[in-house]
Amino acid sequence: MLRTRVIPALLLRNESLVKTVRFGKFTYVGDPANTVRIFNELEVDELLFLDITASLENRSPNLKVLADIADECFMPLGYGGGIRSLDQAKAVFDIGFEKVAINTQAEENPALIGEIAAHYGSQAVVASIDVKKGLFGRQTVHTLGGRRNTRRDPVSWAVEVEKMGAGEILLTSIDREGTWDGFDLDLVRRVTDAVSIPVIAHGGAGKIEHIEQVVREANASAVALGNMVVFQKKGMGILVNFPDIKIF
């Protein structure tokens, strides 16, 4: 059986790394390239960088920052944020990234996922789905860094992006992100039951038991970690690290 992938998910804001809570309040974490050097030493298997303001600001990926990251990094890299065309995806791949994550443009330009998959293979395309509860508890897909409510059902949308050609899904609970309270197991389970491609659970991990739960009880294929890899513990200072996790 393949080992479960545990992926640090690092948030870019301008040229710095930050960590947010529910896609809102953020804390400065550090310099991207310096952080990559630490993860190199920790022998992390994979890194994911997400530019949290690119789509909101209608801005292209910051290729200079991404080139600095790729120059330092020894492991496979993924990037999401502001990719609106095949040419922009190509520029990211040419720098040295292996995967691109598409969020806002999957909804605004559904053909883009298929275009990228046709050129680079579905394994290179991650559909990023951000989910938030409304006033009456109904969960819907949000884009533009969580600002726009598409009114879409997350399970139905997951099925659609798989049909578009996505090779895996990054599923983020906005309500749990940055809280340390654990993953939304019901959400993850409903999505994994509906699709055949790998689902990366993201948002809420605060301890190793949370990771075990989402893998064993909700069938997540992988997990993406934020707080656990940039802070010592909840309420404590910054410490770039990688927990000793053995899950199969």
Neighbours of 196 (CB within 10 A): 7
Largest Cα–Cα separation, the chain: 47
Alpha-carbon span 198 to 156, nearest angstrom: 16
Candidates 31, 68, 94, 130; catalytic one: 130
Neighbours of 174 (CB within 10 A): 20
Alpha-carbon span 102 to 119, nearest angstrom: 15
DSSP run (H or E) holding 141: strand 139-143
Specify whether 130 is catalytic. Answer: yes
**CA angle (79 as vertex; 23, 13 as ends), nearest 5:** 45
Residues designated as active site: 130
